[in-house]
Structure 1
């Protein structure tokens, strides 16, 4: 159950590309979090795409938007869902989702992802603080179902 905010350059993504990007991100999350192929569980992956005016994005103080398309994302996820391997795979798949979104892009596609693992009991859902067993029950994480049984 990640909450992901992607920042992309304004005007680069049309509606179809935004859909491709969001779907690619959700597929990456489902694989890495081991979420079953259940629409109710997969619907808990929230993706927000924000568009930035490119002249407000600089690299070393320089506007490189003529050479680079930059996607930056913040991934908020409950701590304990990802291990080192799945975290690395997630970043790999997030980059692939960005590249696949713009198959004809001539500029280099640069990506940067920050994964924030939210401490147990520090995420509020519907007015309640949730812990990892709550997320495991709602999202169906296959590798964490032992937490649901022992609740």
Structure 2
């Protein structure tokens, strides 16, 4: 049940590439978070794409938008869903998901993935605090089903 917020330079993504990127990032989340590949579970993977003016993105105070297209993704999950290996895999596949959504882009594609892990019981869902157990139940995380047993 990740929340993925992606910041992208304005004008880089059209409607088709946004849709592809959103699908690609859900695929990444499904693999890395070990979510069953079922429509009801995939529907819990939220992707929000925000665009910022390209010239407002600077590197060392310089506008490099003519040479590089940079994306920043914040992946918010319940603490305990991702380990070091799955975070590394998420960053790797996430970068590929971005590049695959931009066929023909000639500038260098750069990405940063920031992982925001919410402490147990600090995530409110529809007016109720959830623990890792509730997240595991709703999302079906294969590696965390031992938390659901006996519920």
Above 0.5 in TM-score? yes
Q: What are the within-5 Å matches in structure 2 for residues 1-151 of structure 1? A: 1-151=1-151
Distance in 2 (CA, whole Å) between partners of 1:92 and 1:57 is 23
RMSD over aligned Cα atoms: 0.7
Distance in 2 (CA, whole Å) between partners of 1:11 and 1:150 is 50
- TM-score relative to the length of structure 1: 0.98
Distance in 2 (CA, whole Å) between partners of 1:73 and 1:150 is 36
Segments of 5+ residues of structure 2 without an aligned counterpart are none
Distance in 1 (CA, whole Å) between partners of 2:135 and 2:90 is 18
Distance in 2 (CA, whole Å) between partners of 1:119 and 1:142 is 20
Distance in 1 (CA, whole Å) between partners of 2:8 and 2:24 is 15
Segments of 5+ residues of structure 1 without an aligned counterpart are none
Count residues in correspondence.
151
Distance in 1 (CA, whole Å) between partners of 2:8 and 2:18 is 10
- The offset of 1:150, in angstroms, is 3.9
